[in-house]
Amino acid sequence: MSTSDSDQNARPALSRRQFLRYASIFSGGLALAACSSAPAAQSPTAAPAATGAAQSASPVTAATVPGDTNSANFGAVKIAFGGGACDAATLIGYENGFFEREGMKPELVALAAGTQKEAVASDRVNALQYAADSIKAIEQGLGVRITTGLHKGCIRLLAGVDTGITKVADLKGKSVGITNFGGLPQVLVQWALGDLGLDPINDVTYKIFPPEQLESAVQKGEIQAFAMYDPLAAIALNNKTVIQVFSTHDDSPYKEMYCCFLGISQKVVEQEPEKAAAITRAFQKAAYWVQHNKPEAAKIIIAKKYVPASEELLLSLLNLYDYVPSATIGKTNFGKFAEILKRVGVLDKDTDPAKLVDLAFIQTGPDLYPATGFAAPNREVPQFSARAIKELAENPQLAASVSHVHAGSSFYCNVS
């Protein structure tokens, strides 16, 4: 799935006040490759993915990311990964040097399912890919803040081939396997049940199983269906023991929603905002790299044995996912999930979803968009640097000045 041109153009431009706020964040000599007052119209991400066209002849590579080296030294950053297919941006960010180019020394920390809260609370990790179910943990005081949506498409609801379940309505009175209560896969099932007028809490029995046991639990008759992330969901489907009832890459409204977001330690966001912004930029750029280099991404990830799948299977999954990141759209999606969580009783009765989202989601800077062509930089043409941010905010007409536009730039951002 990919984002259309209309979706890109719908992304709101930054207000002058927002832009001035970001000026204090973009420090340490960072060069924003080029900022355009209308960058979305120049973004190439929509057309190739939407039409299935071949990738650009000049994909995003380390050599074609001009002005992205941050002269600041933010030191070590501990980044979590869980071994899922949706960790691609995390792993490519690490392997391809996106964190180093933002002034950080990354360390990967492997986390088992369900240990994210403990890892964040104990400072074992500074950043991790987090699903929308993190809203509940933040409501309970977990010190993590969400800074951008990363990708869409990695969750499936599957049912045993002999259960007679072919649609969501068939789940009534059945047992559905999940890996934890209140997790995003369960929330999606509850959302679907509620939209059909069914009771999302009492019309289905939810049972907890380790991820690797869900498929066998269906075969044993302990559950009739389960909801979970790839790659294990895709492997079960390939084993032909289950059928797909819905997925977040095939079915609306789920396919329009980010399933995975970037979470950063609250301590880092509040005490080191420049570092939080750098982490977010690294993840966004790595996500774009995956979007435009999926075969190479699959090859790198499998070669390092990060994901328990074949290269062929991982590539087939990445081809289903939309790695077009956005903080602005991400916050809107996050708000929708908060409303669903309140509706199905996951959030406390007294919680205001909108206020909780304002607390949980912190936009550390403007969204980045790749520039057309990904050409090698022309060092003769000026680029927008951090030192120019304040001037640009006060004189937005400069953003459209030919003398300030870098034809070889890799990323654009809204400055209007």
Catalogue the E-assigned strands of 94-221. Answer: 104-110, 127-131, 144-151, 155-160, 175-178, 205-208
Closest CA to 334 of 307, 352, 361: 361
d(CA 401, CA 36): 9
d(CA 393, CA 415): 7
User: At 257, is the secondary structure helix, strand, or coil?
Assistant: coil
In DSSP terms, which residues pair with 227 in a beta bridge?
157
155-247: same fold as 5-152+256-370? yes
In DSSP terms, which residues pair with 278 in a beta bridge?
none
> In this model, does residue 9 exceed pLDDT 60?
no
CB distance 407 to 57 below 8 Å: no
d(CA 172, CA 165): 10
Within 10 A of 355 (CB to CB), how many other CB atoms are there? Answer: 10
> For residue 235, what pLDDT is reported?
86
d(CA 271, CA 370): 29
> For residue 405, what pLDDT is reported?
34
- Mode of pairing for the β-strands spanning 225-229 and 175-178: parallel
User: At 269, is the secondary structure helix, strand, or coil?
Assistant: helix
Per domain, the residue ranges of the chain are: 5-152+256-370, 155-247
The set of residues, in sequence order, having a beta carbon less than 8 Å from that of 355 and lying 6+ positions away, is none
Which CATH number does the domain 5-152+256-370 belong to among 3.40.50.150, 3.20.20.70, 3.40.50.300, 3.40.190.10?
A: 3.40.190.10
More confident: 254 or 335: 335
More confident: 50 or 148: 148
Half-sphere exposure at residue 30, Cβ-oriented, CA atoms within 13 angstroms:
29
The CATH class for the domain spanning 155-247 reads alpha beta
Lowest mean pLDDT among 37-41, 141-145, 171-175, 398-402: 37-41
d(CA 17, CA 199): 44
Residue that the structure tokens 């800077």 belong to? 365
Taking only the tens place, the pLDDT of each residue in 229-252 is 888 888 898 899 999 999 888 878
d(CA 230, CA 245): 15
Rounded to 5°, angle at Cα 380 from 377 and 381? 75
Report which listed range, 15-29, 64-78, 312-326, is most confident.
312-326
> In this model, does residue 159 exceed pLDDT 70?
yes
- Amino acid type, 156: R
The rounded mean pLDDT for the chain is 75
CB distance 31 to 67 below 8 Å: yes
